[in-house]
Structure 1
Amino acid sequence: MSDAISPKDFRAAEGTDDWRVVGDGARAWFDAGDFARGAALVSAIAGLADAAGHHPDVDLRYSGVAVRLISHDVGDISHRDLALARDISAAARELGATARPELVQSLQIAIDAVDVPAVRAFWEAVLGYSPVEDADLTDPRASGPNVWIQQIDAARPERNTLHVDLYVPRDVVEKRLAAALAAGGRVVNDVNAPEWWTLADPEGNEVDLAPWRDDSPWAA
């Protein structure tokens, strides 16, 4: 029996204020203040994960620690992730590491293609990535952004065929949108707003900016 939990229920659960569900799981960032405290937090997370038999992705940087929780066996976040998120937050507080949920985001590269298998084979080879779905590639080291090959019916020479998908917390997206426009960007398509906006830089390079909706179909 699956123990998957929807993003909506995850966010509504007690003890998840430090976390945001964005695109590829539940993520948190903890400002450690120094490398030693960050390393201590990583050590604490490792102990908690081993005790739970459930292991997150953890990235130690000089200034802090990034954590991603997802249950690969269900392809989703789960109640195991919820329990571990609470324990990690408690460990961070005990060590004096400060949660900064407004810094959380996830990044994906999206490529439009008429011949998806051919385009996918090229990017799989050149990036050294692994196939995970019919049109998806992932970094086997779990350090780089996922690549999604999007089917289109015909070539579109008037538009870029490669863009970035950026998922940010819902409480951040409007500020990020305003900053992008103030920096010279423009809205290319907002028909799907507030689910996502397609923006372009001054030379036409595109990014889809999206909050991960708690009431999205994926969350049902």
Structure 2
Amino acid sequence: MVEVITSQRFHAAPGVEDWRVLSTGAAAHFVTGSFATGVALVDRIGELAEAANHHPDVELRYGGVTVRLLTHEVMEQGWVLSERDSALAAQISHAARELGITADPTKVQAMQIAIDALDIPKVRPFWAAVLGYELFGDEDVGGPGAVGPNVWFQQMDEPRPQRNRIHVDLYVPADLAPARIEAALAAGGTVVLDNGPEWWTLADPEGNEVDVAPWPDTFSGW
């Protein structure tokens, strides 16, 4: 039986200081500095995952490795976290330290595209087809296995022709949200809607919008 845990409980587990929970699960970014070092870390992650029979998503780039964890066995809510995730996260961080690799939480984020629609069931299949995605839940296309940002559809009550109908949702760790917002404002952005601490809607100098949202610690699935 898989026991679902909240984001807060994940963060309270020992050895997971490198990790942050966002809309795509628990994630950590490890700064390797070279491709060879990254491969060595990925090899260790593979060994740990096989031993635990619990498998993360791993992205290897020249200078770093990003790892995302969620529990695939219980997917009724889209994704959930369990104690299996916190245990493997701690093991991966320990393996990184043994290889002399440090983590950089400022590189951890998750992004989705939000589309306002009057008739979601009519619009959603188009985006699933054109992106090569699958219908996911009642309001999304993509899901945990999607290659690229998740797409979420927000119900509109009436047409809004003078307002953007597509915007970006950016999920960042709560401790990094203020700095990210400050940087965006310094770069010419403005605050369109302050709904903090849940989210802030920012706009670029031409009015294109992005919602910056810290991920809540009380969340247990999506």
TM interval, shorter chain, is over 0.9
How far apart in 1 are the matches of 2:126 and 2:147? 20
Provide Cα deviations, 1:153-172, integer angstroms capped at 9, x if missing partner.
11111210100000111111
Change (3 A) 1:49 1:27: same
| Residue 213 of structure 2, aligned match among 193, 210, 218 | 210
Q: Does 1:193 align with 2:163?
A: no
TM-score (norm 2): 0.94
Superposition pairs of residues 1-150 of structure 1, within 5 angstroms:
1-74=1-74, 75-138=79-142, 142-150=146-154
Aligned Cα RMSD in Å? 1.4
How far apart in 1 are the matches of 2:2 and 2:50? 21
Q: Which residue in 2 is equivalent to 1:157?
A: 161
Structure 1: segments with no counterpart, 5+ residues: none
**Post-superposition, which runs of at least 4 consecutive aligned residues in structure 1 deviate over 4 A?**
none
How far apart in 2 are the matches of 1:71 and 1:54? 8
Q: Is the 8 A contact 2:56 2:70 kept in 1?
A: yes
| Residue 169 of structure 1, aligned match among 152, 170, 173 | 173
Query: How big is the shift at 1:139?
Result: 6.2
Higher RCO (C-alpha under 8 Å, 6+ residues apart): 2
Provide Cα deviations, 1:96-124, integer angstroms capped at 9, x if missing partner.
11111121100111101001012111111
How far apart in 2 are the matches of 1:26 and 1:139? 15
How far apart in 2 are the matches of 1:152 and 1:70? 31
Q: Is the 8 A contact 1:130 1:140 kept in 2?
A: no
Query: How big is the shift at 1:23?
Result: 1.3
Give identity over the alignment, percent: 61
Query: How big is the shift at 1:146?
Result: 0.5
Query: How big is the shift at 1:140?
Result: 7.7
Provide Cα deviations, 1:167-206, integer angstroms capped at 9, x if missing partner.
111111000001111111111111x211100111111111
What's the secondary structure of 1:170's corresponding residue?
coil
Structure 2: segments with no counterpart, 5+ residues: none
How far apart in 2 are the matches of 1:32 and 1:57? 17
TM-score (norm 1): 0.95
How far apart in 2 are the matches of 1:143 and 1:98? 26
Q: Is the 8 A contact 1:54 1:80 kept in 2?
A: yes
